Structure 1
């Protein structure tokens, strides 16, 4: 009697855990646009994809640089605002999760906690901010996604994470334990034609078109050794000069699918290279991928 009860109890636990999704601690991220923001955990529930993040404000030194061997008097006090640094953070309400390579498979931001989405929050040097973003539930079976906040603008750095790996196995079909008795079908009755005053004609408004995004990715490498090179990519968008830095040599950048870009690739000790990109010329594909970018041969 005790053994039977114990087995039933364990079965109940197994069914409970399966129905409430998965949790991934410190998920693997292939590439990200800012190293001072990290994803700590991703939790998948029946309703949401919950992303836990942490922002760290590095700032600058709070004390002035002094000549070697020089010391300030014990009673010396810094001016009130000297050495202090701060920045403002927020989460773009248009942030989406995407299935890599499928621009139409996206999951909207529902809400955010401990970070604003309509105004700004000021943070000071050394401060850490833990915040949470709730998205629509990832379709079971999607175990890699892109966290895309938007394209960086002048004076504003977007937080984009590419290739985030999580536990999200596909659903298994549920086998029926027993067949329910078949109810006799009711005789089909022909509906009466609606009266003229009962007919209502309505028109469903067409959804507004969303801005399409193209993605360019690849690798910057030495033309002779074929080894990846730490590089900086500079380009113009809507009159703003934007920069993308990659310590690993790999890059992944979101672009306007209708735009035309001229990329300038530079690295310390190398000649620069230029690359022209027009996502709309990529055979009509919604996603546009560019292969590895070779560097000019030889070092300076």
Structure 2
């Protein structure tokens, strides 16, 4: 991506960088991931720990999923602050735990002892892991198990969303001169071969494109959807560019819009009678294909609301959830006869009854938001299932896909 990483002894070229990545869930509310960089060798995670003991002197014990008893908020250092460390057995997990990436090293945080953090102090530190496979754009950071470290909270993150296209950009290799032929001893030495022309460099900003097809998810037929696109990052982007739009062709559902190399785009597809869909698309040095299968609004249709966020082990909706729910509000207002059932689910880790109550509280929080936007209470049913209906029931590691809110159309 043209960026150089100078943290540490050796500078590394950054292929993809994701500032402030979206995180589905986190163990310790005092630590955040500020950036994730991908180089040819490493997955580099920048984190920040903020000691809040001076602001929250009476912070109550936390209830962590999977631990049946409350535990204190990190270990005190004796002066009212905290102590921190990073466990070297930490791992990155992806694809439901099928892929594991080892911890390499850390900077500005010890791995063999604990470091004191003064009240109110902020500590920026970096963790290096093996490079994620291209195409893995969501992973879990599992530092340690709180169950095995009584009185501490591990730096565990679930559902970290980053930019990591399936095809990595490789720099062009310069052509090398073929070795000169050794002349036969009885013949005169031939003239040296003419040098080959240098490889034509890639133009500074060749016009590429994002293209694809929009289809009905049930029938496979083309849909003349509206495609709205906005650049999130690029060489000349601050992430605040206005959105533009184009329409997919009615005959075959195809669309196309231009884009420069090494840029990241947010693309949304919407059509009357369908639920909209949004995706993040990264253009490397070739055209990018992004297809959209839109789900029709029909009785029995089930949709997972992808961008609904809650604080860890709590049920208050975070503001980042509002855009997704506002889209649902718009759909329901355009279809006044439509009625839905909201279903809340949790991961399989933790107590069944606690998870059941949490899922109910979360799904009712979504219902209350819809009602605050003018949707009648009678149009929205809410049910919590806890972890009784997991997508992934494999024990041993967290599965973010299990933590979800689903919507079923009961009347169209």
When normalised by structure 1's length, the TM-score is 0.50
Distance 1:286 1:116 in 2: 25
Q: 1:168 Cα shift?
A: 1.6
Matched, 1:168 2:258: no
Q: 1:36 Cα shift?
A: 1.3
**Pairing partner for 1:50 from 44, 58, 64:** 44
Q: Is the 8 A contact 2:140 2:160 kept in 1?
A: yes
Q: 1:126 Cα shift?
A: 0.2
**Pairing partner for 1:155 from 139, 151, 156:** 151
In structure 2, the residue matched to 1:123 is: 117
Matched, 1:91 2:181: no
In structure 1, the residue matched to 2:207 is: none
> What is the total number of aligned residue pairs between the two structures?
200
* Residues 248 and 33 of structure 1: CA distance in aligned 2, closer, same or farther (over 3 Å): farther
Indicate the structure (1 or 2) with the bigger Cα radius of gyration. 1
| CA displacement, residues 67-100 of structure 1 (integer Å, 9 cap, x when unaligned) | xxxxxxxxxxxxxxxx95111111121211111x
Q: Is the 8 A contact 1:263 1:276 kept in 2?
A: no
* Unaligned segments of structure 1, at least 5 residues: 1-12, 64-82, 182-227, 233-243, 295-300
In structure 2, the residue matched to 1:8 is: none
Q: Which has the higher contact order (CA 8 A, sep 6+)?
A: 1
* Residues 156 and 252 of structure 1: CA distance in aligned 2, closer, same or farther (over 3 Å): farther
SS of equivalent residue, structure 2 residue 117: strand
Q: Is the 8 A contact 2:14 2:37 kept in 1?
A: no
| CA displacement, residues 157-207 of structure 1 (integer Å, 9 cap, x when unaligned) | 1222222222222236999999x99xxxxxxxxxxxxxxxxxxxxxxxxxx
**Pairing partner for 2:138 from 119, 144, 148:** 144
Q: Is the 8 A contact 1:262 1:276 kept in 2?
A: yes
SS of equivalent residue, structure 2 residue 97: strand
Q: 1:25 Cα shift?
A: 1.6
* Unaligned segments of structure 2, at least 5 residues: 6-12, 58-77, 179-307, 319-343, 362-383, 407-412
Cα RMSD for the two superposed structures: 4.9
Distance 1:254 1:247 in 2: 21
In structure 1, the residue matched to 2:229 is: none
Q: Is the 8 A contact 2:348 2:402 kept in 1?
A: no
Q: 1:43 Cα shift?
A: 1.1
| CA displacement, residues 34-66 of structure 1 (integer Å, 9 cap, x when unaligned) | 221111111111111111100000004599xxx
Distance 1:61 1:150 in 2: 27
In structure 2, the residue matched to 1:264 is: 354
In structure 2, the residue matched to 1:32 is: 26
* Residues 275 and 176 of structure 1: CA distance in aligned 2, closer, same or farther (over 3 Å): closer
SS of equivalent residue, structure 2 residue 139: strand
